Amino acid sequence: MIALLWVACTVVSPPVVDDSGVGGDLDRPGWCDTAVEVTWEDWGDGFMRTQCQGCHASQAEERYGAPPEVVFDTEADVIRWRARILVRTVDERTMPPAGGVDEVDLQLLETWLRCSY
């Protein structure tokens, strides 16, 4: 079983960037060349679980009004929404609604979403 899972994981290819991203495409800024590498596996997945999935998981018990189409279960979901995520979480700081994301995490989020795809 464990071996099977391991094989299943190693054949998963990187997600295809969906050009129909919500809120438009993002250009990769020059500072990405010297930025730390931030990935879904080592940071993004955990961040989305902790800060966003309480309301934005497809199976969330209580969404507190989060729209049904705004779901961040997978890396592909997040890529599709990344322009809006940057606006709401990094620029406007209105997501999560109660705030509370620290500066380091805001920087990692921006680096992840702008530089890794």
Binding site for ligand HEC (CB under 6 A): 51-52, 54-56, 64-67, 70, 81, 84-85, 88-89, 95-97
**Residue partners of 116: CB distance under 8 A and separation at least 6:** 37, 38, 39, 40
Cβ proximity to ligand HEC, 11 vs 76, nearer residue: 76
Cβ proximity to ligand HEC, 70 vs 115, nearer residue: 70
Angle subtended at Cα 58 by Cα 45 and Cα 5, rounded to the nearest 5 degrees: 55
Asked whether the beta carbons of 24 and 87 are under 8 A apart, the reply is no
Cβ proximity to ligand HEC, 21 vs 54, nearer residue: 54
Cβ proximity to ligand HEC, 38 vs 85, nearer residue: 85
Q: Quote the least distance from Cβ 116 to ligand HEC, whole Å.
A: 15
- Cα separation, 5 vs 57, in Å, equals 23
Q: Quote the least distance from Cβ 16 to ligand HEC, whole Å.
A: 20
Q: How many whole angstroms from its chain centre is CA 56? A: 11
